[in-house]
């Protein structure tokens, strides 16, 4: 099964991805993990770009994300199935993803869209207070950084959701429910309720 889990930061994407991972025995692949792994290799051009993005709260440019994702999607692990968390974030990334996986002869099963209000997102992220990368003293979750990321998210949200809706892949979920209820709703949309 090939799944995308999408929503604003704080919507519980990571939590739900890990619950699905345990149930379906699929790897979770996140943009954040790919970016943080590359940021540790600061001597490469991509590593420097990733580190700068993490330090400033900006998103990594598409051309860098495409390189990181192409390497990951072409791996034998990915071709057996996956849960993508944090990718695609915009329409260009969605088109790129579709292009790469069609060449690899597989297709997406569902785009799981966790809807969450900005108020809830801010509240959850302020409690989380994650650092920009391991060993950093800089908080990723200050009010200014959170607001900036939410603004960027909303600029791309509608077009991306519409893209997957037109393909019949959209599974919209109320992300403001309890973790258990969100998970049950996801399983129902995937026809996996047991």
| Annotated binding-site residue numbers for ATP | 10-15, 128, 177
φ/ψ region of 54 (left if φ > 0, alpha if ψ in -120 to 50, else beta) reads: alpha
Cα torsion 159, 165, 170, 172 to 10°: value is 70
Eight-state DSSP code of residue 61? P
Name the helix (H) or strand (E) containing 28. Answer: strand 28-30
First to last CA, the chain: 17
Cβ contact 120:10 at 8 Å: yes
| Rg of the chain over all Cα atoms, to the nearest angstrom | 16
Angle between helices 143-166 and 91-103 (to 10 degrees): 50
Q: Which residues are annotated as a binding site?
A: 10-15, 31, 36, 58-60, 86-89, 93, 128, 130, 149, 177
Q: Which residues are annotated as a binding site for AMP?
A: 31, 36, 58-60, 86-89, 93, 130, 149
Maximal CA-CA distance, the chain: 49
Eight-state DSSP code of residue 12? S
């Amino acid at each position: 099964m090939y799944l995308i889990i999408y929503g604003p930061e704080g919507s519980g994407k990571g939590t739900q991805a890990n619950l699905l991972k345990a149930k379906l025995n699929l790897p979770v692949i996140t943009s954040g993990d790919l970016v943080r792994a590359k940021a540790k290799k600061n001597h490469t051009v991509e590593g420097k770009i990733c580190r700068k993005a993490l330090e400033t709260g900006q998103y990594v440019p598409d051309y860098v994300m495409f390189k990181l994702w192409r390497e990951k999607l072409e791996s034998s692990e990915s071709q057996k199935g996956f849960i993508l968390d944090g990718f695609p974030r915009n329409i260009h990334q969605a088109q790129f993803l579709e292009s790469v996986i069609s060449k690899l002869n597989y297709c997406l099963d569902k785009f799981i869209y966790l809807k969450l209000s900005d108020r809830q997102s801010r509240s959850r992220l302020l409690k989380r207070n994650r650092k920009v990368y391991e060993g950093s003293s800089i908080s990723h979750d200050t009010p200014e950084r959170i607001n900036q990321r939410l603004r960027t998210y909303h600029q791309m949200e509608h077009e991306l959701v519409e893209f997957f809706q037109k393909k019949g892949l959209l599974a919209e979920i109320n992300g403001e429910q309890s973790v258990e209820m969100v998970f049950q709703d996801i399983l129902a949309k995937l026809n996996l309720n047991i």
